[in-house]
Amino acid sequence: MELSPYTITIDETTFYFSSKNHLEKFTEKLTENRELIEYSLSKRFGFNIDIKLLADIVLYSKVETRGFFINRKGVNYLCKKDIILSGGKVTKKN
């Protein structure tokens, strides 16, 4: 998949897909999936949560069934277990 022509780059993260169909499915569900995960976490913890990268990786792992390959800021990830989401910033709601 590393040389796949089916990619999408979102905020310095490139997702590689094994087929055009998987890429299309990912892009179709992207916004809805982000909203669903952010709503679910916000409801659970009682404050607004904006965690698009987490939502995108979760969706990618559901859609891309033939492997796992993403690149974030020049670093390749070949497995979900290679990823540690670290950090977060607190901002005030306007």
Half-sphere exposure of 38 toward its Cβ, with a 13 Å CA cutoff? 14
DSSP assignments along 78-90, one per residue: -SGGG--------
pLDDT at 90: 80
Query: Does residue 2 carry a pLDDT above 90?
Result: no
Residue-wise pLDDT for 30-86, tens only, equals 999 999 999 999 999 999 999 999 999 999 999 999 999 999 999 999 999 999 988
47: helix, coil or strand? Answer: coil
Task: Specify whether the CB–CB gap between 67 and 25 falls below 8 A.
Answer: no
| Structure confidence at residue 7 as a pLDDT band (50, 70, 90) | very high
pLDDT at 89: 76
* Domain at 6-81: CATH code: 3.30.70.3560
Local structure of residue 10 (DSSP, 8 states): E
| Structure confidence at residue 1 as a pLDDT band (50, 70, 90) | low
Residue 40 token pair:
């679910």
